[in-house]
Structure 1
Amino acid sequence: MIEINDVSKNFAGIKLMNLTIPDGKIIGFLGPNGAGKSTTIKMMTGILPLDAGTIKLNGFDIEKEPIQAKQHIGYVPDQPDMFLRLKGIDYLNFIGDIFEVPETTRKERIEQLTTQFNIYEALQDYIQTYSHGMRQKIIVTGVLLHDPDIWILDEPLTGLDPKSAYMLKEMMREHAAKGKTVFFSSHGLEVVEQLCDEVAIIKNGELIFYGGLAEMRKQFQTNQSLEQVFLELTSDE
């Protein structure tokens, strides 16, 4: 479960955000560029401090209990250009060491996931030689390696080829079906409409809607697509 209570961040204009995300759901996090999506995600993962409020991940406060909280999450950033001087296999072993993944389990998961994402043969290469899509795949593999309860993904499908994007979406569905949580931001509204149980929409740092698509259509008395409703809600006209 993710609990965001009275959270604000002055430089991003985020004002008293409140959002509770239950287990077993896929949540799409939507908003125009500059609305505060990535800032919110960075506060959720402990990268940025909160100016006010609290964020709890499976009951652990991200600021007061950061180690315990981070043990429950896997995070894919919007830019996968990290640890470029490491080989792919060294990066995955580094992640495995941090999260204390047993050696046998680690080896099996690395082989399975990198084979599925078609990067197994590149594990001995340096990440700086990878394409953007390959970098995205190695970061996603690292997230899945320790099987965290909560996935927090910032534009996770960007740069993935259609087959890999399909596999990741299926993994997201399977993760939620196990009673766990997937929270991801995306500009792909059709994907969100097909995949998500609920959506959270942010505009100018404020949460303007949270709920299911049926609830959204009922509230705004429309049968329009998510894309059409989103554009109307976030328009400055």
Structure 2
Amino acid sequence: MTDTQEHHTRVPALTLRGLGKRFGEKIAVDAISLEVPAGSFYGLVGPNGAGKTTTLSMATGLLRPDIGQAFVLGTDVWQKPLEAKRLLGVLPDGVRLFDRLTGEQLVTYSGLLRGMERDVVAQRTADLLSALDLTGDAGTLVVDYSAGMTKKIALASALVHAPRVLVLDEPFESVDPVSSANIRSILEDYVASGGTVIVSSHVMDLVQRMCDHVAVISGGRVLAAGTVDEVRGEQSLEERFVELVGGRTHGGGLEWLRTS
């Protein structure tokens, strides 16, 4: 293990200190502090509008925070953005891609943009397309991809430079069960080899089975964070989530909907 690798295992993969963002009168993220251990599979869960996407966007250099700091493996994202982004692979919400490129061209472009050698990019692109079952669509324009295929090619683009930290916003949305299983396998192998995955998702069962750490966010604040077992206690993660977030209704007033 090199000194750099050893340093990266000691420091957290992601550290947020008092990170905050306001849009007009609305506080989207309310001074969030969070620490993601290196080598963890970390889930970020919360209701719609909780501030997950805004938090991840600030943490990865896509959206400038109003207050606070974000560090990737000890590197300040906003003071040293190029250095921090070399360590990151990001699949953002509402994937925006150069969709007039073919799938193969898009992943190749992502690798070359990172300064990688062309022959290395070519081999990794082929490997990723094969692993994600996209080899047959390598020559198809991304604009003609389905929603699930688009997610997969965006993931390939995020992985091609072998980042140390992978940040994925709703990576399984619109993805079929077989592809979802393949993606989970790739991510589990990535974490087993020393990488860190941070994933936001609405699917509690998926997070509970896949992640070893989790943070529950609502109203722009962290309500609970720790290992999955610590956060859920004696309950399922979904039950604990509903208990923390609140707002559950019981369908009263819909008697007319009963068929007998």
User: Could you tell me which of 224, 240, 248 is aligned with 1:229?
Assistant: 240
Secondary structure at the aligned position of 1:80 is classed as: coil
Letter in 2 for 1:91: L
- Provide structure 1 residue ranges, at least 5 long, that are not aligned to the other structure: none
Deviations 1:70-90 (A, max 9, x none): 000001122224211222222
CA displacement at 1:179 relative to structure 2: 2.3
Corresponding residue of 1:9: 21
- Provide structure 2 residue ranges, at least 5 long, that are not aligned to the other structure: 1-12, 249-260
Q: Is residue 91–residue 168 contact of structure 2 (8 Å, CA) maintained in 1?
A: yes
Q: Is residue 37–residue 202 contact of structure 1 (8 Å, CA) maintained in 2?
A: yes
With the length of structure 1 as denominator, give the TM-score of the two structures.
Answer: 0.94
Q: Is residue 155–residue 187 contact of structure 1 (8 Å, CA) maintained in 2?
A: yes
Q: Is residue 80–residue 132 contact of structure 1 (8 Å, CA) maintained in 2?
A: no
With the length of structure 2 as denominator, give the TM-score of the two structures.
Answer: 0.86
User: Could you tell me which of 185, 188, 195 is aligned with 1:173?
Assistant: 188
Greater Rg by CA: 2
Change over 3 Å in CA distance of 1:133–1:217 after alignment to 2:
closer
Partner Cα separation in structure 2 for residue 38 and residue 202 of structure 1: 11
Secondary structure at the aligned position of 2:95 is classed as: coil
* Count of aligned residue pairs for this structure pair: 233
Partner Cα separation in structure 1 for residue 195 and residue 151 of structure 2: 22
Corresponding residue of 1:187: 202
Corresponding residue of 1:97: 112
Corresponding residue of 1:66: 81
Instruction: Give the share of equivalent positions with the same residue, in percent.
Output: 33
Q: Is residue 44–residue 215 contact of structure 2 (8 Å, CA) maintained in 1?
A: yes
Secondary structure at the aligned position of 2:32 is classed as: strand
Partner Cα separation in structure 2 for residue 200 and residue 174 of structure 1: 22
Question: Are 1:152 and 2:154 counterparts?
Answer: no
4+ runs of 1 displaced by more than 3 Å?
Answer: none
Secondary structure at the aligned position of 1:190 is classed as: helix
Q: CA RMSD in A?
A: 1.4
Task: Indicate the structure whose relative CO is greater, using CA pairs within 8 Å and at least 6 residues apart.
Answer: 1
Partner Cα separation in structure 1 for residue 90 and residue 81 of structure 2: 14
